[in-house]
Amino acid sequence: MSCFYKMGLKGRSCTMLNTLITSKTRIKLLLRFFLNSDSTSYLRNLESEFAESTNAIRVELNRFEKAGLLITSLKGNRKIFQANQNHPLYSDIHNILVKYVGLDQIIDKVVQLLGGVEKAYITGDLALGLDVNSISLLLIGDDINRQYLAKLIKKAEILINKKITCVILPAPEEKDYLKKYPEALLIWLSNHEISLKESIEK
């Protein structure tokens, strides 16, 4: 896992998380399961994603399961893992990871300032809980200023040290588009509904 120390909040968050948790495999697993609570996976799939040995991953999975942080189910001969949302520490871990990957800054510096956004999603690898250097943002709204959005994204990219790509769609096209991205993570709702950032602050 690469960390950035030269600028922005991403560097400080990365430094703090790696100081608190020295196992890179453990951090990858936390991201994989606790950033998007709907995310599930199994040992061989994680081995492919992380490019690490099954033994190292199995040790950490067993630790998380014994601690009650992960729940499991069987699908054929595969043991499927998922975050235990009822664990007392689930919300705390999730909120730390949201800040770690910079989603709080996207809400603060892009979505809230932009206006006209009805919903905002993260799609792609990051929505799956993989620590990547780019963020795929989906904005739903009929009155979004694209020029202003480009300026806000440029500033946010400096803050979080990640490349941000963005797709803008009107509300009627949302449902069909999301069929192609079942991993999509909703991070913002308008009309006074609770956003991901508001849940962090409570």
% of residues, the chain, pLDDT over 90: 64
- Note the pLDDT of residue 9: 45
Question: Is the pLDDT confidence value at 196 over 80?
Answer: no
Say if residues 94 and 37 touch (Cβ distance below 8 Å).
Answer: yes
Q: Give the span between the Cα atoms of 180 and 169, in whole angstroms.
A: 14
DSSP 49-94: HHT--HHHHHHHHHHHHHTTSEEEEEETTEEEEEE-TTSTTHHHHH
In the predicted model, is pLDDT for residue 197 greater than 70?
no
Instruction: Find the mean pLDDT for residues 29-57.
Output: 92
Q: State the pLDDT confidence band at 193, using cuts at 50, 70 and 90.
A: very low
Query: Which of 117, 34, 36, 41 lies closest to 73 in space, CA to CA?
Result: 41
pLDDT one-digit tens code per residue, 103-147: 999 999 999 999 899 999 999 999 999 888 999 999 999 989 999
Q: And the tokens for 149?
A: 């959005």
Supply φ then ψ for residue 33, to 5 degrees.
Answer: -110, -25
d(CA 76, CA 89) in angstroms, rounded, equals: 30
Instruction: Specify the pLDDT at position 7.
Output: 33
Q: What is the pLDDT of residues 147-188, one digit of tens each?
A: 999 999 999 999 998 999 999 999 999 999 999 999 999 999
Percent of the chain at pLDDT > 70 equals 83
Q: Which residues contact 29 (CB under 8 A, 6 or more apart)?
A: 46, 57, 60, 61, 64
**Domains contained in the chain, CATH given:** 8-90 (1.10.10.10), 102-201 (3.30.460.10)
pLDDT exceeds 90 at position 20: no
